[in-house]
Structure 1
Amino acid sequence: MARFIFITGGVVSSLGKGLASAALGALLQARGYTVRLRKLDPYLNVDPGTMSPFEHGEVFVTDDGAETDLDLGHYERFTGVAARKTDSVSSGRIYSNVLEKERRGDYLGKTIQVIPHVTNEIKEFISIGEDEVDFMLCEIGGTVGDIEGLPFFEAIRQFSQDKPRGQCLFMHLTLLPYIAASGELKTKPTQHSVKELRSIGIAPDILVCRSEREIPQKEREKLALFCNVRPDSVIAAYDLKSIYEAPLAYHKEGLDQAVLDAFGISPSPKPDLSRWEDVADRVENPEGEVKVAIVGKYTQLEDAYKSIAEALTHGGMANRVKVRIEWVDAELFEREDPAPHLEGFHAILVPGGFGERGTEGKIKAAEFARTHQIPYLGICLGMQMAVIEAARNVVGLKNAGSQEFDHEAGRDRFEPVIFHLKEWIKDNQKIARDVLDDKGGTMRLGAYNATLAEGSKVAEVYDTTAISERHRHRYEVDIKYRDQLEEKGLCFSGMSPDGRLPEIVEWKDHPWFIGVQFHPELKSKPFAPHPLFADFVRAAVETSRLV
């Protein structure tokens, strides 16, 4: 039977609840326990899949095809535990489930109310798989006091009462603002946040306080007194140079010990932190630096490409170098020559995306990398743009394009090198989609197998010819153009097991030019960098030595 840790936030948003949850999960693992982390989001979207990256950052995809909050990426990167559909839920999904049950007659005609029907649905979600792990960490999105979050707070209050005493713990993350004029850290916002939490029946067992300054002992004692927690359960969370210092920093502050003490686990197993000490050493002591340009369309919000940025950092760790990322707006190249903007970079990465905006700029970035022999990694749309560039500029199909962008795809001269995928096979079942279907959840989502060509660059990188990677897309490279492209040197080095869908392309006569239809960044971890990113950064290091 799992012990439950509920992580809530107060004062302001974006304090790092997801990172704190992930770091705590890693510390509990270091002590030999099994963990699973979950995210409960109050927004009414059914899932984040159709939300703009500017609204909510990237969409993290699980092996079983769920489109989830980016915090699940933190959970996976820190614990190595593959997230599942049952690890993320929103208010929209909860209400949708309740209404579906009502329409089926499951409630026998009763009046449907937030309490007990919505709260019961939340509690059922929290309980899924509780016998599989030692600790279940559940992060509640938003901040205490948000009206949309009230059903979740009420549900976890009820849940803690339903369980035996001592099986649930509440951890509250707040902010201690520093007032420069008086030279003081102020505890009052945290006191009010805890008061708000207690007014709905939840008393925090542990306080995690974000602060840009060291928290004096007298302030810790004041927080403990007025928030009714033990003094050793007031944990400081200071700003860090790297998020991968968080497990060691939280351990130094005693977070994991405070959790075990609150559960009455004594004696507690000693932690093995060697994994995180090695990670911290690689981050803090690089032996060089490479510059990588990410040419995308959501560059104004770095969280839109969170997993890619972290995977590049992991690739740097594997090569003991610092990866300096610069964000380049793809639309810039639709107006200007890319050369002045891309010269000086040791590698170029073009990520995924949806919609036509910026695509011609991505095509020019792929062309620059190909013609200047600079390492290139194209992910999802980044692969498709590389194929279009090859079709136009190498094969000679001047009207090559994608059905996603061209609304006159039926005209004679148009060459739809990228087409809308209408059916495919998953788990031995045919899945069919139409271009007019609702956008949510209609893509090729989750883990799919691929077969790599013997002797190809990717087979060398993966050190195998059979892989499984996560997908999130509606459009595919049309295999009917394969022969024309391969005659000019663009090798289709990875295919779906049935040979119908191109998964990977690479230029034979290029030092390192690979495009992948899937999202390798989603499976990269600091202690297990994804092989594609590790080798991509290695190629960038080689380029830096030639400059």
Structure 2
Amino acid sequence: MTKYIFVTGGVLSSLGKGITSSSIATLLKHSGLNVGILKIDPYINVDPGTMSPLEHGEVFVTYDGAETDLDIGHYERFLNVDFSFKNNFTTGQVYLSVIDRERKGGYLGKTIQVIPHIVDEIKHRIKLAGEGKDILVVELGGTVGDIEGLPFLEAMREMKHEYGINRIISMHVTLIPLIRAAGELKTKPTQHSVQELRRIGITPQIIITRSEKEIPTELKNKLAMSCDVDYDCVIGAQDAKSIYQMPINFLKEGVLVPIARFLKLPELKPDMKAWDLLVKQILAPQQEVNIAFVGKYLNLKESYKSLIEALIHAGANLDTQVNIQWIDSEELEKNEEMLQKLKYVNGILVPGGFGERGIEGKMKAIQFAREQGIVFFGICLGMQLAILEFCRNVLGIKEANSMEFNPNTHEAVIYLIENFINQSGEKQIRTHTSPMGGTMRLGEYECTLKEGSKLQKAYKNQKLIKERHRHRYEANPKYQAMLEKKGMMISGKCNGLIEAIELKNHPWFVAVQFHPEFTSRLQAPNLAILEFIKQALYAKSYK
């Protein structure tokens, strides 16, 4: 008998529905409940896999290879749980499923309509995500009033009608704007947003008020009266220094009291001591470290959301402030002075990415880290570029290149995964075909670590680890012997594929093909990223 909490948004988008949903789910989990969480995206794209980072931000990858909304990353980071394709669906997936079934005669010749067929498919997917859970938190993307959200709101209304008020509650996240000229917080937009919900048959029981500053009790009471909710059901959510404060803030606001009342649950008493300690170490750390983040999507840092959060997790667990110095790789290509600034950082990070833009700048940073003995960590494309830089400047293979940048290169140090499969005959590699025709490695794969390597030490001497991937290009094993002869160790492999490299005669120079940031959580930081920050701290103290 799964119970459901539906989270909607009003007035405008980007209010933090994902953080709200994650925070509520975290409190419920720490109260001993089995909690699931689901993100519904009203856009017509089937998934964000083919969307530009500038359009959508980061594409988060689940262990089973689903390309999902970045809010799924928040869910995993807060709840310390691996989610799957069941925890995110889009309008595109719903319509694709219904149309495919209709083409196969699954509806026995009936006229297919939004109601009931589209709405029934939505309800089916919601119930599937909630199977076996005490509570499922369901976040609806977008804003109430958006035409594309109407079928999902209808599904919410029908489920409440089917299951009754003791199994389903509606939580509405809305903006209380501060009019600075008048110095006043205004409730009218929230009243109109709630009226729009009630017009289509949904009455929210709890209102989450997003604001720049604390909302006074008299204003909360006014909202409760005008929106027809109980006085203890207007919950303040003012801006915080860290998103990880929000579960603690919601607990102080008393959000669990009405949730327990409406869903007929016993008194909820979450144990948040360990969480609270980590939050305090985020807000007031005892030490700091400077990391140069060499990327090309710096005008939209949401493209690196999981990696930024992973650095925060590592810092929190080491009681350290990780200061990110953003370095535009394109600027690095033409500005020698910027390159010299890297002397003053404690570590250099080159993340993943697609395309040729900014590549030479990233390789300059990698060469600088290698030659100057600066702690270095490369991820995905960062590993491929570390190998390319080594081939060109140490092995003397000046034409060394990636087929991503030059499909006709005669020195394909980095090539398509199809080339590896065709040349090696390896049948153990799982691949996915993208809608645009490319073959990719997506999701979780095993990686065997080399005995005695720095990476194995980072993973507490485990021989076999599991990490997530999202890429099309691989390091060509043809060059492995030459790399190793000159001091580059292959420290991780997967069925013959090169998964990780490191330099023997360097304080700490490690790069991996996988994306360790996808498995990092506040209470369980990724061990490779944690070790990177540890080594940067050591390098700082040594200086």
Preserved CA contact (<8 Å) 1:247 1:276? no
Report 1:206-285 matches (<5 A): 206-266=206-266, 268-285=267-284
Distance 2:438 2:147 in 1: 28
2:6–2:137 contact (8 Å) kept in structure 1:
yes
1:468 is aligned to 466
SS of 2:37's partner is strand
For residue 542 of structure 1, the aligned residue among 524, 534, 538 is 538
Q: Deviations over 1:496-529 (max 9, x none)?
A: 0x2x100000011111111100000011111111
Aligned to 2:520: 524
- Cα 1:95–1:508 change in 2 (3 A) is same
Question: Percent identical across equivalent pairs?
Answer: 49
Q: Please list every run of 5 or more consecutive structure 1 residues that lacks an aligned counterpart in the other structure.
A: none
Deviates more, 1:150-159 or 1:42-51: 150-159
Aligned to 2:397: 397
The aligned counterpart of 1:48 is 48
AA aligned opposite 2:238: Y
* Rounded Cα–Cα distance in structure 2 between residues aligned with 1:360 and 1:94: 42
Residue of structure 2 equivalent to 1:336: 335
Q: CA RMSD in A?
A: 1.7
Aligned to 1:78: 78
Displacement of 1:460 in angstroms is 0.7
CA offsets 1:25-52 (integer angstroms, 9 cap, x no match): 1100111111111100011111011111
Distance in 1 (CA, whole Å) between partners of 2:365 and 2:503 is 15
State whether structure 2 residue 369 is matched by structure 1 residue 373: no
**TM-score scaled by structure 2?**
0.96
Shift in Å, 1:285: 2.6
What aligned pairs does 1:194-213 form with structure 2 within 5 A after superposition?
194-213=194-213
> 1:301 corresponds to which residue?
300
- CA distance change for structure 1 residues 487 and 132 in 2, over 3 Å: closer, same or farther? same
* Among 435, 445, 448, the residue aligned to 1:448: 445
Q: Secondary structure at the match of 1:443?
A: strand
Contact persistence 1:61–1:445 (CA under 8 A): yes
1:174-201, CA deviations, whole angstroms, 9 ceiling, x for partnerless residues? 0001112222110000000000111111
Look up the match of 2:502. Answer: 506
Distance 1:440 1:527 in 2: 38
4+ long deviations beyond 3 Å: 427-434
State the secondary structure of the residue aligned to 2:20: helix
Superposition deviation, residue 282 in structure 1? 1.5
Q: Which segment is superposed worse, 119-128 or 271-280?
A: 271-280
Q: Counterpart of 1:490 in structure 2: which amino acid?
A: M
- The CA deviation string for residues 224-273 of structure 1, in whole angstroms up to 9 with x for no partner, is 0111111100000011111111111110011122211221223x142211
Aligned to 1:492: 490
Which residue is equivalent to 1:105? 105
- Please tell me whether the aligned partners of residues 444 and 466 of structure 2 are also in contact (alpha carbons under 8 angstroms): yes
Distance 1:318 1:271 in 2: 21
Q: Take 1:17 and 1:6, find their aligned partners in 2: how far apart are those partners?
A: 11
Cα distance change of structure 1 residues 440 and 166 upon mapping to structure 2, 3 Å threshold: farther
> Aligned equivalents of 2:271 and 2:431: distance in 1?
48
- Provide closer, same or farther for how the CA distance between residues 440 and 328 of structure 1 changes in structure 2, counting only shifts above 3 A: farther
Question: Which amino acid is 1:85 matched to?
Answer: F
Query: How many residue pairs are counted as aligned between the two chains?
Result: 537
Kindly state the Cα deviation for residue 362 of structure 1 after the two structures are TM-superposed: 1.1
Residue 441 of structure 1: how far off its partner (Å)? 8.0
Distance 1:262 1:328 in 2: 50
- Kindly indicate whether residue 356 of structure 2 is the aligned counterpart of residue 356 of structure 1: yes
Q: Distance in 1 between matches of 2:23 and 2:527?
A: 24
- Rounded Cα–Cα distance in structure 1 between residues aligned with 2:106 and 2:219: 52
Aligned-partner SS, 2:250: helix
Distance 1:341 1:192 in 2: 52
Quick check: 1:282–1:320 contact (8 Å CA) kept in 2?
Answer: yes
Is the 1:60–1:73 Cα contact (8 Å) retained in structure 2? Answer: yes
Aligned-pair CA distance for 1:327: 1.6
Name the CA distance, whole Å, in 2 between partners of 1:54 and 1:250: 32
Gaps of 5+ in 2: none
Separation in structure 1 between the aligned mates of residue 363 and residue 105 of structure 2, nearest angstrom? 53
Q: Which residue number in structure 2 is paired with residue 166 of structure 1?
A: 166
Instruction: For 2:280, give the aligned amino acid.
Output: D
Aligned 8 A contact 1:421 1:433 in 2: no
2:476 is the counterpart of 1:478: yes
Letter in 2 for 1:475: Y
**Alpha-carbon distance between aligned partners in 2 of 1:258 and 1:276, rounded to the nearest angstrom:** 23
Q: Given the two structures, how large is their TM-score scaled by the length of structure 1?
A: 0.95
**Cα pair distance change 1:98/1:491, threshold 3 Å:** same
Letter of the structure 1 residue corresponding to residue 465 of structure 2: I
* Cα deviation 1:77-135 (Å, max 9, x = unaligned): 11111110100011111111111111111111222211111111111110114331111
Measure, in 1, the Cα distance between the counterparts of 2:201 and 2:487. 66
Instruction: For residue 492 of structure 2, give the secondary structure of its aligned residue in structure 1.
Output: strand
Moved more, 155-164 or 319-328: 155-164
Shift of 1:334: 2.0
- Contact 2:232–2:258 (8 Å) recurs in 1: yes
Change (3 A) 1:356 1:253: same
* 1:39-83, Cα deviation, whole Å (9 max, x unpaired): 000111110111111111111100000000000111001111111
Does the 8 A contact of 2:449 with 2:491 survive in 1?
Answer: yes
CA contact (8 A) 2:417 2:439 kept: no
The amino acid across from 1:306 in the alignment is K
Residue pair 1:363, 1:386 contacting (<8 A) in 2 also:
yes
Residue of structure 2 equivalent to 1:151: 151
Indicate if the aligned counterparts of 2:165 and 2:262 stay in contact, CA closer than 8 A.
no
Contact in 2 for aligned 1:19/1:243 (Cα 8 Å): yes
